[in-house]
Structure 1
Amino acid sequence: MLVIALLCGFAFSRLGAPGQLALNVVNSFNKLLFVVFGFLMKVAPIGAFGAMAFTVGKYGAHSIGNLGLLILAFYAACIVFVVLVLGILAKLTGFSLWRILRYFRDEFLIVLATSSSEPVLPRLLSKLERLGCDRGVVGLVVPTGYSFNLTGTAVYLTLSSMFIAQACDIHLGWDQILLMLGMMLLTSKGAAGVTGSGFVALVATLTVMPTLPVAGVALIVGIDRFMSEARALTSTVANIVSCVAIAKWQHALDTDKLRAELQAGFVQTEADKLQLSEPVLAH
């Protein structure tokens, strides 16, 4: 999908005026889809309630406890990834992960509230530049990471697939588990940073994996909203840390400015308020 989108973008730019006309049609269709999705999101709680009722009715009330364990396991896996993997990466790069988390705390609250990383993209770009990262690196790494560095989605896909396999009493060998892991890492790339995209990626992945039933997603659709928050938050932290690390590796990072900003913490000026708030309101 990403390759097709890039090819279409290049084609629109080469066509000139006709390309602009075609682009307007695409934008109109895009707005139409968002309106349709808005309608679907309003009735989604009814579907989630039905899925939970089906789960309890067929598998018993104890299945709710198993779903709770899945949520706890997913949150624990995300915390381990952030603390160990991203923490070690931050340490090797020469900055404190805790101070990075504190510096972007407002953006993390927005991600938690919306279960999406999309609304904070303009704010991340601005604040990463303020930390001393080169604009070219920020402009390339962060938007690319929104499609290719969705670590939270990758963790979610793997854990959810294992849960569905156990719930359906399907035994998976190590070769099947490794194949599924590789497939999940691949299908997580290109997923949109909007709410529910991870669940859509899970359904799309299970359709091409004959060992697991697609209908098994009904078991977890009721708790997807709780897992969506951790998915978006983990991916956002990973994109921030990776951007600073890549800027350091490319010698495009002002380390003195980074150290000073992290020491002082983010202090918002009036100019920052105008710069940071307008893009978010546009979403």
Structure 2
Amino acid sequence: MTTAEVAAAPLPAKPTPLYKSLFAQVLVALVAGIIIGMAWPDVAIGLKVLSDGFLKLISMIVAPIVFCVVVHGIAGAGDLRKVGRVGVKALVYFEVMTTLALALGIVLAYLFGPGHGMNIDTAALDPKALASYADNAHKLQGGGIGAFILNIIPSTSFDALARNDVLQVLFFAVLFGVSLSLVGDKGAPVGKVIEAAATVLFKAMSLIVRLAPLGVLGAVAYTVGRYGVGSLKQLVSLVVLFYAAVLVFVLVVLGAVMRLAGLSIFKFLAYLREELTIVLATASSDAVLPQVMRKLERMGVKESVVGLVVPTGYSFNLDAFSIYLTLAVVFIAQATNTPLSVGDLLLVLAISLVTSKGAHGVPGSAIVILAATLSAVPSIPAIGLVLVLSVDWFIGMARAVGNLIGNCVATVVIAAWENDLDRDKAVRVLNGEAAVDL
């Protein structure tokens, strides 16, 4: 190598000092939250305001970032046929992964039988605990597929942004981006404004993310203080089985898919470790949506693919939630000694393919969607949902992490499918050989 080549070669990324590492700060906050929750539970419960405040800050910026990124990505893609092709490939991929996840939940539930031996008498369960969830489930289910499709269309564009409905914002952003692309040069000034706005919003996001340790501290302290470290005893088998199921799906299924794209799932998870730690502690993948979009772009995924696949996946590609949906349904049937025929299982699978698409953005989404699913399967007592209420937060932590990993992998794979992934750059970034400026 010549002197000029040596001088032109990129310098290896300098390691971040441990005290400046967001990952290290989040881990310290997590441990501190556990200690505070155990030692001073009353104080810990009051710290939930830190978690709520952090999530509100993130929520404040998610919708406008999604709008700007999607519009800029479509307008910058040039070829609208390519945009449509990416969208179709994404939906096909989502359905395949969702089906695999739903099937995995059923298989594991039958293999390990977490509900067997509980012998729950449904007459002894308190229906009041499900009142609000049942109401939301009826609203969700009332209009069927038609209501779900109509709900994608916002009443007004400002209403969608104000309510932070990512799916509705995505719908309007796609329409706006396509229109901006079609008007050509006349829309160029608008495109520049949106690109500049996205840059500013991402900078604001980077400032907010620095507060993640406080959010994690509040979330973990509240959880331990409110429920106690022994709160998993009643349904520990279900919780452990679900965590194992998510791990198997990520390492085996998603790992194989990433290998087809020429990348390592382990290095990919290490690259996203800060975001995954935040999501695990807050049980919300919304908390890192803008940051993961920027990180995927920085590792070589084309911006237009990131802008389309990630926001869409938040509503249509919920891998971990899909596992939980069928696992919980079979668990409730086992716990209440309700026999399930092959027809019942096929019905659960078919209904879950639809109801799982409405999970994101629904208050108490897991219980609501479970209620909507069970109400369509009359052989299983819906009141059995009371059994999983006490551990929903703990299960929600793994749900959020699994969903986020699934969406990130989907984005990389679809980009590779479209030849919109710079593999050399991705390998360098995942190996830590290239600095990533966020």
Pick the aligned partner of 1:251 from 419, 429, 433. 419
Residue 379 of structure 2 is aligned to residue 233 of structure 1: no
Per the alignment, residue 177 of structure 1 pairs with 345
Matches within 5 A, 1:100-115: 100-115=268-283
Per the alignment, residue 278 of structure 1 pairs with none
Residue 320 of structure 2 is aligned to residue 152 of structure 1: yes
1:68-126 Cα deviation digits (max 9, x unpaired)? 11111111111111111001001111000001000000000110111011111000110
SS at match of 1:142: helix
User: In structure 1, what residue type is equivalent to 2:368?
Assistant: V
Cα gap change, 1:132 to 1:28, in 2 (>3 Å): closer
SS at match of 1:192: coil
Matches within 5 A, 1:258-273: 258-264=426-432, 267=435, 269=437, 272=438
Q: Is the 1:102–1:265 Cα contact (8 Å) retained in structure 2?
A: no
Per the alignment, residue 135 of structure 1 pairs with 303
1:117-156 Cα deviation digits (max 9, x unpaired)? 1111000110000011111100000000000000111111
Residue 175 of structure 2 is aligned to residue 7 of structure 1: no
1:133-184 Cα deviation digits (max 9, x unpaired)? 1111000000000000001111111111111101111000112112212222
2:402, 2:163 → 1: CA distance? Answer: 32
Per the alignment, residue 122 of structure 1 pairs with 290
Q: Is the 1:114–1:195 Cα contact (8 Å) retained in structure 2?
A: no
Q: Is the 1:74–1:227 Cα contact (8 Å) retained in structure 2?
A: yes
Q: Is the 1:196–1:228 Cα contact (8 Å) retained in structure 2?
A: no
Q: Structure 1: which 5+ runs fail to align? A: 14-19, 31-44, 54-63, 273-283
Q: Is the 1:147–1:189 Cα contact (8 Å) retained in structure 2?
A: yes
- Count how many residue pairs are aligned between Structure 1 and Structure 2: 233
Per the alignment, residue 198 of structure 1 pairs with 366
Per the alignment, residue 79 of structure 1 pairs with 247
- Which one has the largest radius of gyration? 2
1:4-35 Cα deviation digits (max 9, x unpaired)? 233336xx36xxxxxx5xx39x93799xxxxx
Per the alignment, residue 27 of structure 1 pairs with 162
User: In structure 1, what residue type is equivalent to 2:278?
Assistant: I
SS at match of 1:220: helix
Cα gap change, 1:65 to 1:166, in 2 (>3 Å): farther
Q: Structure 2: which 5+ runs fail to align? A: 1-146, 166-222
2:434, 2:405 → 1: CA distance? Answer: 16
Per the alignment, residue 36 of structure 1 pairs with none
2:398, 2:164 → 1: CA distance? Answer: 31
User: In structure 2, what residue type is equivalent to 1:6?
Assistant: I
1:194, 1:119 → 2: CA distance? Answer: 16
Pick the aligned partner of 2:354 from 186, 190, 194. 186
Pick the aligned partner of 1:99 from 250, 267, 272. 267
| Aligned structure 1 segments of 4 or more residues deviating by more than 3 angstroms | 26-30, 193-196, 265-269
Q: Is the 2:358–2:369 Cα contact (8 Å) retained in structure 1?
A: no
Q: Is the 2:347–2:377 Cα contact (8 Å) retained in structure 1?
A: no
CA RMSD of aligned residues (A): 2.9
Pick the aligned partner of 1:242 from 399, 402, 410. 410
Percent identical: 42
Q: Taking structure 2 as the reference length, what is the TM-score of the superposition?
A: 0.49
Deviation at 1:268, TM superposition (A): 5.8
1:102, 1:234 → 2: CA distance? Answer: 14
Deviation at 1:241, TM superposition (A): 0.7
